[in-house]
Structure 1
């Protein structure tokens, strides 16, 4: 075994696992398994597997829709398809919690501890562009990767927040149909994947994690609607961070119950016999047998734990006072000191595309902060010229300074919260013109653009574009889409750049050249 595990950790696992200890310990000498999940917002998982450019092919992960194992030597992060958002590289066991969440199109979903965004993109694929995803993380730096991964995946219906869970409760009380709590933990199940986590295990005692997990779960429970489902997951073996947290929540919240996970895929049931809490009713302890453990010696993946919880409808109706207008006068979080309310103007608009100043705001209009710029007008002109196939946007447009977002329907007032992305970032107004964002390009389908330039993944021009180079434009690479009047657009201006038919960014057509407009932070270095 090449990994040097901490002696106290090994000694404890010997006691917990008994007869299975030797098999578990031997798993650390086995090669780790690598996984990716095909992004079904852009392509079908099985059809992509059949035509995968990876040399060794893809083997399905049995518990994950569109999840596959790949060989380490394939290095899928170095292929242009990764930069087109066609898949997300994800540890196979980490795919399980979002599968257990049972997300359906139209749901309102919260990923409470979301960064770097793997499970958020998995949830978004299951929503199929319908409903709402709120992806939150309390670490500001980590939300950058979270937002980027959602944008790379082409997610249109997500809002990204940077908040502590307790600050979300007044805005989203009893709001969500589904909540994922992939809690911060001691990371014991990831030692084989990432040996650096051993240093954190040695640095922080179990109490450091359990107190944090306890509070996160309590706040998450407040935001789940009656009848909704919450999945709590960790990547640790520690009973204190797993079964004990669930038993404690059940004791505190009689309106919650465990939804037993059927045994499958080599998964093991939770262990009530490992719960050592005092004063907890035995029925709450016994209920954790319906939770699930993923052991590295039983499956092709790392260590995980997951519990599926449902909020009972009857008890929820009796005990929950739903805030009818989050962010309104009755919301104590509105105008929190240090985070003043954002001044807004509201405009009506058809199909969520904005309206004229002075009109009274309606549900499908847009909200803009006080600013001399009007990105909505610039967006209208841009969309009419270049994106005639996009049609109306659901929800409303939200202008923040010169930036313009398409915010999914049903988002409550977010004033006073730290918002990283108000929705799908469309672009920004610059000197009266609209500059489309990288996020807009990644969320489009190729056929929605009036002008597009095509490259093949195996062509050198594809790599040159991804690196930010300006390219000579061969006429045969340019496709023009006729407008509603049947006329072709000018062969100049912005064009959507695609690789194998999938958007990867923007370019400007000028004097026989494709001027590279791929965002600098997105370029392949």
Structure 2
């Protein structure tokens, strides 16, 4: 494969790279490498590799936990395991920034430029269900993919926002233990992967992005707690978007320092000699040697840049700093919601009709059932094996969420997901969400229907078809009072033991309840 690179770009890279230029240019004629990351919220990476259904097997990505190379002909996005959230298809170099962030269970983490969600789901796997992930993107349409990818991965402890970084600062000032800024950039490192980015580069060269990156970094720095770690990354080669942005931040923020990245995996150090900013002290320029560049001629992956920054004060970057204790007012001793504090968006679902149903649902009234009570009834009958929920229950209109502990007041912010979306309370009944199904384990459910990934019924279910229910596929477990559940009602549908959605058992049929937007087209 040969990529037609812009002449201006090639000329500049020749000047920057010198003796390495020929090797770098030759990399564009080599086949690109493909990667996926096994979702360790659902399965162990190495054991999954050993039993992977992909024909050519999986080769580990050396810098990423549970990251693997696969062959192009495998097409893992077409396998049912993808739709069960067992892995995320991700370019190998793009796995590096979240690894460098050194997330530990219990941390408060912000992914500031998060869509479409690959790095957010990687962070969530490292949190292991403990702590808080705030995934934000300022592009409204892109937050749809962000929320869906987190739900597909079965993430329970995330809040998804759609805001400009500066609007987050008053709410989250000095709040986060870890922040990832995977900044919008000119994308030079992705030209081999996606040639359409060349056209974007011709329209918007590096100078278009630098002011945006500068402001994003400044706002991110305000939200990092003392002792916390911020990783800044791009998928471009441009020094103006990489080393210069870091040197400038160090000059502005004396409380920030570079945490040097040890040389490994064929990674190269940052280049202080490429910084041409005026008025920056020599020590700040030299510090960028501790940042890292991933070059496509040195590694099996595309071009990337990353800098690890620490805000001085607090604990060391490797420690579990700033962990939010669980609010005793939010949970009982068992961790289950105890008199959860309900929050309903003002006028949610109303259209000036005196409380009657709006387009997307009906308003709460004194005669209607408390949505948390409707949920508890559903949980007792359908999910007797479900353990403690994260944080507290909150209601937003008809929707019910389990929101992670420690989330501040989000009033005034554009919230896409307030937490783990459990479902909706409608006319005294609870309708479970696709997100709820994807965050469950098979054994949580009172009724479970099992298919194998290689069986035609699995594909039919994923496409939204209603199926005849063969008795041997139905697994029942006792509900809370020890009685057997009825062979009718909601069932969790699983493929190879992993949940993929809901169905309703009725008259010998499995009525497909997989959300329409999730169906395999």
TM-score of the alignment, normalized to the shorter chain, above 0.5: yes
Give the superposition deviation at 1:505: 0.1
Q: In the comparison of the two structures, how many residue pairs are matched? A: 514
Alignment correspondent of 1:331: 330
Q: Distance in 1 between matches of 2:354 and 2:494?
A: 29
Cα gap change, 1:332 to 1:232, in 2 (>3 Å): farther
Pairwise mapping of residues 22-421 of structure 1 onto structure 2 (< 5 A)? 22-311=22-311, 344=344, 374-421=370-417
Deviations 1:224-245 (A, max 9, x none): 0000000000000000000000
Q: Secondary structure at 2:314's aligned position in 1?
A: helix
CA contact 2:162–2:416 (8 Å) conserved in 1? yes
CA contact 1:353–1:392 (8 Å) conserved in 2? no
Q: Distance in 2 between matches of 1:330 and 1:184?
A: 40
Q: Distance in 2 between matches of 1:120 and 1:294?
A: 21
CA contact 2:505–2:511 (8 Å) conserved in 1? yes
Deviations 1:169-206 (A, max 9, x none): 00000000000000000000000000000011000132
Q: Distance in 1 between matches of 2:437 and 2:12?
A: 51
Cα gap change, 1:437 to 1:344, in 2 (>3 Å): closer
Give the superposition deviation at 1:373: 6.3
Q: Distance in 1 between matches of 2:391 and 2:484?
A: 30
Q: Distance in 1 between matches of 2:353 and 2:317?
A: 36
Deviations 1:320-364 (A, max 9, x none): 9999xx99999999999999999759999999999999999999x
Give the superposition deviation at 1:378: 1.2
Cα gap change, 1:406 to 1:9, in 2 (>3 Å): same
Q: Distance in 2 between matches of 1:124 and 1:398?
A: 21
CA contact 2:340–2:392 (8 Å) conserved in 1? no
Q: Secondary structure at 2:36's aligned position in 1?
A: strand
Q: Distance in 1 between matches of 2:316 and 2:70?
A: 48
CA contact 2:384–2:478 (8 Å) conserved in 1? no
Give the superposition deviation at 1:264: 0.1
Q: TM-score, normalised by structure 2?
A: 0.90
Q: Secondary structure at 1:309's aligned position in 2?
A: strand
Cα gap change, 1:337 to 1:405, in 2 (>3 Å): closer
Cα gap change, 1:458 to 1:210, in 2 (>3 Å): same
Gaps of 5+ in 1: 364-368
Cα gap change, 1:472 to 1:327, in 2 (>3 Å): closer
Which moved further from structure 2: 350-359 or 142-151? 350-359
Give the superposition deviation at 1:376: 1.3
Cα gap change, 1:378 to 1:332, in 2 (>3 Å): closer
Give the superposition deviation at 1:391: 2.9
CA contact 2:134–2:159 (8 Å) conserved in 1? yes
Q: Secondary structure at 1:344's aligned position in 2?
A: coil
CA contact 2:174–2:224 (8 Å) conserved in 1? yes
Q: Distance in 2 between matches of 1:217 and 1:137?
A: 14
Cα gap change, 1:39 to 1:358, in 2 (>3 Å): closer
Cα gap change, 1:70 to 1:360, in 2 (>3 Å): closer
Which moved further from structure 2: 502-511 or 474-483? 474-483
CA contact 1:169–1:222 (8 Å) conserved in 2? yes
Cα gap change, 1:400 to 1:358, in 2 (>3 Å): closer
Cα gap change, 1:112 to 1:342, in 2 (>3 Å): farther
Cα gap change, 1:106 to 1:356, in 2 (>3 Å): farther
CA contact 1:80–1:457 (8 Å) conserved in 2? yes
Q: TM-score, normalised by structure 1?
A: 0.90
Deviations 1:421-476 (A, max 9, x none): 00000000122100000000000000011110000000000000000000000111
Cα gap change, 1:448 to 1:162, in 2 (>3 Å): same
Give the superposition deviation at 1:265: 0.1
Q: Distance in 1 between matches of 2:274 and 2:331?
A: 41
Give the superposition deviation at 1:2: 2.1
Give the superposition deviation at 1:394: 2.4
Deviations 1:267-319 (A, max 9, x none): 000000000000000000000000000000000000000000000xxxx5899
Which moved further from structure 2: 176-185 or 342-351? 342-351
Gaps of 5+ in 2: none
Q: Secondary structure at 1:273's aligned position in 2?
A: helix
Deviations 1:407-431 (A, max 9, x none): 0000000000000000000000122
Cα gap change, 1:58 to 1:86, in 2 (>3 Å): same
Q: Distance in 1 between matches of 2:349 and 2:318?
A: 33
RMSD of Structure 2 on Structure 1 (CA): 7.1
Q: Distance in 2 between matches of 1:319 and 1:264?
A: 22
Q: Distance in 2 between matches of 1:23 and 1:337?
A: 59
CA contact 2:242–2:305 (8 Å) conserved in 1? yes
Cα gap change, 1:521 to 1:173, in 2 (>3 Å): same
CA contact 1:5–1:198 (8 Å) conserved in 2? yes
Cα gap change, 1:501 to 1:359, in 2 (>3 Å): closer
CA contact 1:347–1:357 (8 Å) conserved in 2? no
Q: Distance in 2 between matches of 1:226 and 1:473?
A: 57
Cα gap change, 1:373 to 1:239, in 2 (>3 Å): farther
Cα gap change, 1:65 to 1:356, in 2 (>3 Å): farther
